[in-house]
């Protein structure tokens, strides 16, 4: 019988476990947290249900979320996305570039100026080999859209200099602008581009943790951190146990796996970078602020505000907050140099004595003050406040990524180590892809 060891018990690891058990493999799952689920977990506090920051299930290849596990179809509802962008105190519909007509002046005039070429029939720009993301934004979307939204928003989200990033590699997230949608948005209408990810799925009466429950609620796991992956097909875990394997499926972050392998592979790890997210969960008395109205989330590009996104869980599902209250998630991008250290989910306490603006109580105070200044929160009504750091959160598709990641994944696979999941493959994928990709990795195991 094949001896399979799976590293990491997020949705990717659980999906691999489920598939491997069904195929009759002898499986051991290793997860460093007491609970499985990774980023797809929910927390219940004081009558509120919070996710590990906003997690909404967008399906592309699966007809219904219940098919991703043993789910009851009635436990899910399909929701039409309501997202906006906060610009100079005004909420305009998202995506920004397809609603230019709704922008306040003088932002509107500056943005329109830069898209005239699209309206006059010039073909939209496509990324060129070696082009950086910022240069591509200016060429494709114009200087106005870049300066007022794409640059400040993505600098906050990715917490890095956009000239480090490869436009070609990121093209699937920033496709060339659709001239028809730009023109429709200028006229105040909803262009075709406005329908991107137009719907998502969410559990009825519960948080996104329901997905884990239906995927593999009873997956037994060795609760330990992986410390070494030896060349003779043994995994060493923190309690000293050694787990021999025929095949290894790793869903832990690729830099951590490379480090655990040691030698030349470990030397590759520092070349990979990602931003983190400091995530705040707030339970608040009363209805949401008028600016949030019935929105699910709001993109915030203004560089003077600390967060890049604010979402309202209870606008997605009223069951997530007690009657008469609402619940928010607030996300702040954290640079790689701050996040290299605390593992995913560790309370974001910061290093003792740190004066770093992203650490300690200073960030919480700043986030609350910024929410109040932006008109999104009355801090006096906060009933519950949780915060944690997600690290890594957003992989940096920089020029080193192209040199390191594909070759490293191929080298590992040749030695029976198969990587899956968002961080295992050092990629940018959502929950559906993580689940399906990990199951496919099991199907593809030789022998
Ligand atoms: C801010 C943010 C918002 C997101 N929003 C959405 C969304 O709305 N919709 C969507 O579809 N996707 C969203 N995602 C993506 C989604 O979270 C991922 O696609 C999915 O959680 C990936 O699952 P995974 O199992 O690959 O990774 P993870 O959930 O990170 O699981 C990895 C597991 O490995 C464990 N682990 C790590 N290192 C070790 C070690 N050394 N030893 C043992 N165990 C270890 C971890 O504890 C964790 O449980 C979002 C991601 C972020 C960061």
Report the complex ipTM: 0.99
Q: Which two tokens stand for residue 402?
A: 């192209």
| Centre of ligand 1 from the C-alpha of residue 432, in Å | 12
Q: Which atom of ligand 1 is nearest to the CA of 12?
A: 25
Does residue 396 sit in helix, strand or coil?
coil
How far are the Cα atoms of 238, 248, 265, 412 from residue 231, in angstroms, in the given order? 18, 12, 11, 11
| Centre of ligand 1 from the C-alpha of residue 110, in Å | 38
Residue minimizing CA distance to atom 14 of ligand 1? 430
What's the pLDDT at 118? 86
Same domain (yes/no): 363, 432: no
Same domain (yes/no): 300, 385: yes
Same domain (yes/no): 292, 363: yes
What's the pLDDT at 339? 56
Contact status, residue 420 vs residue 10, Cβ threshold 8 Å:
no
Q: Last residue of some domain: 356, 377, 395? A: 395
Q: Considering the domain boundaries, does residue 89 fall inside one?
A: no
Same domain (yes/no): 201, 301: yes
Q: Which atom of ligand 1 is nearest to the CA of 39?
A: 29
Does residue 431 sit in helix, strand or coil?
helix
Which mutation among 8, 156, 342 tests ligand 1's pocket best, with the greatest number of atoms within 8 A of CB?
8
| Centre of ligand 1 from the C-alpha of residue 151, in Å | 26
Domain count, the chain: 3
- Distance in angstroms (rounded) separating the CA atoms of residues 97 and 100: 6
| Centre of ligand 1 from the C-alpha of residue 423, in Å | 7
| Centre of ligand 1 from the C-alpha of residue 252, in Å | 9
Same domain (yes/no): 309, 204: yes
Same domain (yes/no): 361, 294: yes
In this structure, the residues whose C-beta lies within 6 A of any atom of ligand 1 are 7-13, 30-33, 38-40, 53-58, 225-226, 251-252, 256, 277, 331, 344, 390, 393, 421-424, 429-431, 434
Among 274, 307, 311, 318, which residue's Cα sits nearest to residue 289?
311
* Long-range Cβ contact pairs of 314-321 (< 8 A, separation 24 or more): 314/288, 315/82, 315/288, 316/56, 316/79, 316/202, 317/77, 317/202, 317/203, 317/204, 317/205, 319/49, 319/204, 319/205, 319/206, 320/48, 320/49, 320/50, 320/207, 321/47, 321/48, 321/49, 321/283
| Centre of ligand 1 from the C-alpha of residue 10, in Å | 6
Strand positions, DSSP E, 165-291: 199-203, 222-223, 226-230, 234-237, 242-244, 247-250, 274-285
How far are the Cα atoms of 104, 108, 126, 183, 233 from residue 180, in angstroms, in the given order? 21, 18, 17, 5, 55
What's the pLDDT at 350? 37
Q: Which atom of ligand 1 is nearest to the CA of 424?
A: 26
List the pLDDT tens digit at each of the 447 positions of the chain.
679 999 999 999 999 999 999 999 999 999 999 899 999 999 999 999 999 999 999 999 999 999 999 889 999 999 999 999 999 999 999 999 999 999 999 999 999 999 988 888 888 888 999 999 999 999 999 999 999 999 999 999 999 999 999 999 888 888 888 899 999 998 876 654 555 678 999 999 999 999 999 999 889 989 999 999 999 999 999 989 999 999 999 999 999 999 999 999 999 999 999 999 999 999 999 999 999 999 999 999 999 999 999 999 999 999 999 999 999 999 999 987 665 543 333 333 333 344 445 556 788 999 999 999 999 999 999 999 998 889 899 999 999 999 999 999 999 999 999 999 999 999 999 999 999 999 999 999 987
Among 11, 182, 8, which residue's Cα sits nearest to residue 108?
182
Determine the structural domain holding residue 265 and report its residue range. 3-36+216-271+398-443
Does residue 86 sit in helix, strand or coil?
strand
Same domain (yes/no): 30, 48: no
Residue minimizing CA distance to atom 27 of ligand 1? 10
| Centre of ligand 1 from the C-alpha of residue 259, in Å | 19
Same domain (yes/no): 319, 388: yes
What's the pLDDT at 353? 43
What's the pLDDT at 359? 54
Q: Which atom of ligand 1 is nearest to the CA of 13?
A: 25
Same domain (yes/no): 292, 357: yes
Residue minimizing CA distance to atom 13 of ligand 1? 430
Q: Considering the domain boundaries, does residue 175 fall inside one?
A: yes
| Centre of ligand 1 from the C-alpha of residue 276, in Å | 12
What's the pLDDT at 241? 93
| Centre of ligand 1 from the C-alpha of residue 393, in Å | 8
Q: Which two tokens stand for residue 105?
A: 């002046």
Same domain (yes/no): 100, 204: no
Same domain (yes/no): 290, 391: yes
């Amino acid at each position: 019988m094949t001896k399979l060891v799976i590293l990491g018990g997020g949705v990717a690891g659980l999906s691999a476990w489920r598939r491997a058990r069904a195929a009759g493999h002898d499986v051991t799952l290793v997860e460093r947290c007491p609970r499985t689920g990774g980023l797809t977990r929910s927390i219940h506090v004081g009558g509120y249900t919070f996710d590990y920051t906003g997690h909404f299930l967008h399906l592309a290849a699966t007809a219904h979320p219940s098919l991703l596990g043993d789910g009851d179809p009635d436990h899910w509802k399909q929701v039409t996305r309501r997202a906006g962008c906060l610009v100079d105190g005004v909420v305009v519909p998202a995506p920004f570039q397809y609603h230019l007509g709704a922008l306040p002046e003088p932002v509107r005039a500056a943005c329109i100026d830069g898209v005239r070429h699209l309206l006059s029939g010039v073909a939209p720009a496509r990324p060129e080999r070696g082009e950086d993301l910022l240069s591509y934004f200016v060429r494709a979307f114009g200087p106005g859209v870049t300066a007022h939204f794409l640059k400040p928003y993505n600098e906050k989200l990715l917490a890095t200099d956009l000239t480090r990033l490869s436009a070609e590699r990121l093209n699937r997230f920033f496709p060339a602008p659709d001239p028809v949608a730009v023109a429709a948005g200028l006229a105040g209408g909803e262009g075709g581009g406005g329908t991107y990810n137009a719907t998502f799925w969410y559990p009825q009466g519960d948080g996104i943790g329901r997905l884990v429950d239906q995927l593999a609620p009873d997956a037994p796991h060795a609760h330990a951190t992986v410390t070494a992956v030896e060349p003779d097909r043994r995994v060493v875990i923190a309690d000293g146990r050694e787990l021999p394997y025929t095949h290894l499926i790793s869903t832990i972050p690729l830099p951590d796996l490379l480090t655990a392998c040691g030698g030349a592979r470990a030397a590759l790890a520092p070349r990979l970078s990602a931003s983190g997210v400091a995530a705040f969960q707030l339970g608040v008395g009363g209805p949401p602020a008028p600016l949030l109205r019935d929105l699910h989330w709001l993109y915030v590009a203004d560089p003077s505000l600390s967060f890049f996104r604010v979402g309202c869980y209870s606008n997605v599902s009223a069951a997530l907050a007690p009657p008469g209250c609402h619940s928010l998630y607030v996300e702040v991008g954290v640079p790689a140099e701050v996040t290299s250290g605390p593992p995913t989910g560790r309370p974001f306490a910061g290093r003792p004595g740190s004066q770093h603006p992203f650490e300690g109580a200073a960030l919480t105070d700043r986030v609350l003050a910024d929410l109040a200044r932006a008109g999104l929160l009355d801090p006096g009504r906060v009933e519950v406040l949780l915060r944690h750091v997600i690290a890594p959160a957003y992989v940096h598709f920089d020029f080193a990524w192209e040199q390191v990641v594909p070759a490293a994944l191929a080298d590992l696979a040749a030695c029976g180590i198969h990587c899956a999941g968002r961080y295992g493959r050092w990629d940018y994928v959502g929950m559906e892809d993580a689940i399906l990709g990990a199951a496919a990795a099991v199907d593809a195991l030789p022998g």
